[in-house]
Structure 1
Amino acid sequence: MPDPFSDDFRPARLVAEAVPGSNAPELSVSELSGQLKRMVEGEFGHVRLRGEISGWKRAASGHAYLCLKDDAAVIDGVIWRGQASQLAFAPADGVEVVATGKLTTFPGRSKYQIVIERMELAGEGALMALLEKLKARLAAEGLFDPVRKQSLPFLPRTIGVVTSPTGAVIRDILHRLADRCPTHVLVWPVKVQGEGAAQEVARAVRGFDAIEAGGPVPRPDLVIVARGGGSIEDLWAFNEEAVVRAVAACSIPIISAVGHETDTSLCDHAADLRAPTPTAAAELAVPVRAELQSAVAALSLRTERCARRYAERARERLAALVRVLPRRDAILGPQRQRTDELVQRLNLALERRVAVGRRALDRAGGALRPAMLDQRLATARTRLDGLARLLEAAHPNKPLERGYARIEARATGRVVTGVAAAQAAGAVTLHFHDGAVDARLERSGGKAYRGRPEQPSLLDTL
């Protein structure tokens, strides 16, 4: 507790006042933050920090935020979008790195942080740790599952190769293919190491997979992803997640030939088959043409021998069957004899049938004398005349000559046969022997009774 009797004792005041002799000016929070920012950036304009990544997060803007820590302290860090897109590896929590940048402050929260311009793995051990973490994560997703592997075509017509167009790898592959079994090769040139190599390899694999069958560019039946040997840093592009996912998702069978026999990449695990070297990949891709020709010739010879043997055995069986078959004359003799008997019987039957027909014709010819024909004709003419007279007498117009008339309803044209029909018709047509006249019928006085129908009166003639 301050001594109230000392010279330095200043009692607490309600309102701040300037203290005589004091050289500490009043600063605002912003002024102090600005001074701290200039001091920190001036003293630590370029630093290299080694630490373990913690809390890695990439924002939607593309900027990345993280913490670098060791066993005693933690510092915040930020990587702006431009630098974050150029990182040579995919950062993850727990990976030890060396970050290069400058220190600055964040006045809004009175914190200091490092703005990272470049970030690298802290040695091969950190690289291997990152590789194992990525491998475990992708394996958990099933990208390395053997069930996903596709069988290679026996004799691909077109092979796509993803590699550098200028290295010895493509020359070795083409030379080996030409020696074993020449086939059509499509080369997709890519960088196989360095910045952007992983993106180019992934884009090439997806590009081959996107080629449509039957188009101007033939779709590969097999793809080889190849690169020569090198250190783990040189082969790192084939451990990138983008390459692994593109290889695993490709619908075309893929052979991975990255590095030498002792080199292993995640691309090898995702591919359908791993080859120890690019030359071995060419050997796995196609069979030996000379061996195929020899095999075809051997099969052709075996086929010819089998066909010849089959024909010989068939000939032997046929000869054996012929020996046990009866003679032709023994089989056909009874049938020939039966045929001769039928021919004789047919001749006799025809002769008898002709004789019977001739006798019937003679009897019919005797009945067809001229006198009998004339008699029959006269009888038929008499019957026809009688029918004609009967028809003429039954003609409906015949009674009209005797003063009768035929009455027809004008609307229907039907003959009126009774009083009711005449009353219903009203308008009628009277047919006489020399013509017809239209008339209208009306009922006369009195009622009609059974036995003497009421007579219609002719009112007017139309």
Structure 2
Amino acid sequence: MSNIPAPNSNVTEFSVTELSGAIKRTMEDTYGRVRVRGELGRVSRPASGHIYLDLKDDRAVLAAVIWKGAAAKMAVRPEEGLEVIATGKITTFPGQSKYQLVIDNIEPAGEGALMALLAARKRQLESEGLFDPARKQLLPYMPRVIGVVTSPTGAVIRDILHRLSDRFPSHVLVWPVRVQGETSAQEVATAVRGFNAIDGGSGIPKPDLIIVARGGGSLEDLWGFNEEVVVRAVADSDIPVISAVGHETDTTLVDYAADVRAPTPTGAAEIAVPVQAELVAQMAQLVARLRAGLSRSTDRKKERLSGLTRALPHPDGLLALPRQRLDGQQVRLGAALDRFTTHKRSRLTTAEAKLSPSRLIHRFDNVRSNLDRLSRSLPSALGRNIQTHRRELGFRAQRLSPQTVNRNVKSGREQLVAFQRRNDLAAERLIGNRRDRANQVSKLLESYSYQRVLDRGFALVMDESAKPIRSSKGVAKGAGLTIQFAGDDRLAAIANGDAIPAMNKRSSAKPQKKQPKAAQTSLFDE
């Protein structure tokens, strides 16, 4: 029987859209806003900024979505495995015939869940060495530029600026960020990396120190500073970082990664810079000490100089002897100048006499006569020199004539043939002498060979490794032996102290008939 209603049945007919809309209204009217407790399962963050996740317990799974606007305002960042209480409204998604929870607020299901997540994250980052004290940097003593990462509208920045102006006025750069909410962690990490990326080329000075600050609050309010992205940015900073998040009792993971932790934002300003008035007073004290030290040193030097001065003799006593020597030298100098002038004058007179015109004319005539004589003898001398060189050249030409060269070549060839003949004879005599000596040595070696001993009736006994046996001691029973005679080798074995002969190793003849054991004798019987 068919269950399909007749065309005139009174069952209401819906379209797909109408039925989906009716279910949607029913769900929303029935439940309205709800609070659901569960564990976060799959958490997806697409580029749209919305967050899609699952709420689950041990028997069911509820799909949920957080729209972009609500996600930016949340203090707790949804993470897989976190137990939370989600507040929102139930609705349906007709496109996939499924229902879901639209979440507008998430809070941890008690501080125990957040603390467990915080402890697990701390162990993970600590195992990577991000909290290692060896990574921490020293703070500059007097930073010229201080970068502050905080909210520009809160009381924190005013406290920091006020404290800095009281202690040591400095150039402060503020990077405004949200210190609470979904995007706070990413904004703080971007600010820290941004300060490190400043190169000073754009006119903005690079900070010498960074302060990451926020006021106090609950664990959920400070959760952004426990995010992994913030911790890694602070740990990787090349600029020293002071963490000033919350009150003195509040501790976040940024405090472990920072180079120095301050109890409060005001305490961070006190750590960052010294007190200017104290520095001025200290400088004044050091200047006073320096002046006093210089004065004492000068006084001591004066006293020492006075003492040394008293030990010196009177200047007149020091200068009396040199003055006397100077007077004596002055007297001697006058007389010496007179003698020197007289000597030079006499030498000048002598030279003047030698340079008279008559002496110069006489010397010029002598030089001219010598020159005339040499000019007259020059042609004959040149002729004699030319004849001498011509005779020497003719003699050399006769020595280099073809007949002379041929005679020298023939004589050299005859000498070479004679030398070669003598060399051949000497080589033959040397080879003959070496051959005779080699024959003598060969005969001598053959006479010393053990083969000649075997020819005289002796035998050589060797063990299995072909080593000669010199004594019967140490030869084990049953050991194989090789006995070498003059003509062949035989094998033997030791049994009960006797040597048992074996087949001839070299000869192919049949083995001899074995003798009775009683007739065998040991080769090693002594």
Please classify the TM superposition score into its range, dividing by the shorter chain length: 0.5 to 0.7
Distance change in 2, residues 1:366/1:143 (3 Å): closer
State whether residues 82 and 117 of structure 2, in contact with CA within 8 Å, keep that contact through their aligned partners in structure 1: yes
Identity across matched positions, percent? 52
Distance 1:91 1:187 in 2: 29
Whether 1:319 and 2:306 are equivalent positions in the alignment is yes
Task: Report the secondary structure of 2:147's partner residue.
Answer: strand
**1:285 alignment partner in structure 2:** 272
Q: Identify which of 97, 119, 142 aligns with 1:155.
A: 142
**1:73 alignment partner in structure 2:** 59
User: Quick one: which amino acid aligns to residue 290 of structure 2?
Assistant: T
Task: Report the secondary structure of 1:186's partner residue.
Answer: strand
Shift of 1:318: 0.8
State whether residues 61 and 81 of structure 1, in contact with CA within 8 Å, keep that contact through their aligned partners in structure 2: no
**1:178 alignment partner in structure 2:** 165
Whether 1:308 and 2:295 are equivalent positions in the alignment is yes
Distance change in 2, residues 1:317/1:213 (3 Å): farther
**2:217 alignment partner in structure 1:** 230
Task: Report the secondary structure of 2:239's partner residue.
Answer: coil
**1:207 alignment partner in structure 2:** 194
Distance change in 2, residues 1:180/1:391 (3 Å): same
**2:133 alignment partner in structure 1:** 146
User: Quick one: which amino acid aligns to residue 114 of structure 2?
Assistant: L
Shift of 1:392: 6.4
Q: Map 1:60-459 to 2 at 5 A.
A: 70=57, 72-73=58-59, 75=61, 89=76, 94-98=81-85, 117-118=102-103, 120=106, 121-213=108-200, 215-365=202-352, 372-391=359-378
Distance 1:229 1:448 in 2: 125
State whether residues 142 and 273 of structure 2, in contact with CA within 8 Å, keep that contact through their aligned partners in structure 1: yes
Q: Which runs of 5+ in 1 are unaligned?
A: 1-20, 25-33, 400-416, 422-446, 451-462
Distance 1:154 1:61 in 2: 44
| 1:273-319 Cα shifts (integer Å, max 9, x gaps) | 22222222222222222222111111111111111111111111111
State whether residues 198 and 238 of structure 1, in contact with CA within 8 Å, keep that contact through their aligned partners in structure 2: yes
Distance change in 2, residues 1:449/1:343 (3 Å): farther
Distance 1:223 1:449 in 2: 111
Shift of 1:83: 10
Distance 1:449 1:177 in 2: 120
Distance change in 2, residues 1:357/1:151 (3 Å): closer
Task: Report the secondary structure of 2:300's partner residue.
Answer: helix
User: Quick one: which amino acid aligns to residue 167 of structure 2?
Assistant: R
| 1:101-125 Cα shifts (integer Å, max 9, x gaps) | 77999x9xxxx99866548332332
- Higher alpha-carbon deviation: 257-266 or 185-194: 257-266
State whether residues 75 and 114 of structure 1, in contact with CA within 8 Å, keep that contact through their aligned partners in structure 2: no
User: Quick one: which amino acid aligns to residue 287 of structure 1?
Assistant: P
Select the structure that is richer in helix: 2
- Higher alpha-carbon deviation: 93-102 or 129-138: 93-102
User: Quick one: which amino acid aligns to residue 305 of structure 1?
Assistant: A
Q: Map 1:17-28 to 2 at 5 A.
A: 21=1
TM-score (norm 1): 0.65
State whether residues 230 and 259 of structure 1, in contact with CA within 8 Å, keep that contact through their aligned partners in structure 2: yes
Task: Report the secondary structure of 1:51's partner residue.
Answer: strand
Q: Which runs of 5+ in 2 are unaligned?
A: 5-15, 387-392, 405-526
**1:444 alignment partner in structure 2:** none
Distance 1:74 1:83 in 2: 28
Task: Report the secondary structure of 2:175's partner residue.
Answer: strand
User: Quick one: which amino acid aligns to residue 282 of structure 1?
Assistant: A
Task: Report the secondary structure of 1:156's partner residue.
Answer: coil
State whether residues 76 and 181 of structure 2, in contact with CA within 8 Å, keep that contact through their aligned partners in structure 1: no
State whether residues 75 and 113 of structure 1, in contact with CA within 8 Å, keep that contact through their aligned partners in structure 2: no
- Higher alpha-carbon deviation: 164-173 or 310-319: 164-173
Shift of 1:78: 8.1
User: Quick one: which amino acid aligns to residue 123 of structure 2?
Assistant: A
Shift of 1:389: 3.1
**1:408 alignment partner in structure 2:** none
State whether residues 92 and 130 of structure 1, in contact with CA within 8 Å, keep that contact through their aligned partners in structure 2: no
Distance change in 2, residues 1:283/1:331 (3 Å): same
Distance change in 2, residues 1:213/1:310 (3 Å): farther
- RMSD, aligned α-carbons: 4.4
Distance 2:82 2:402 in 1: 132
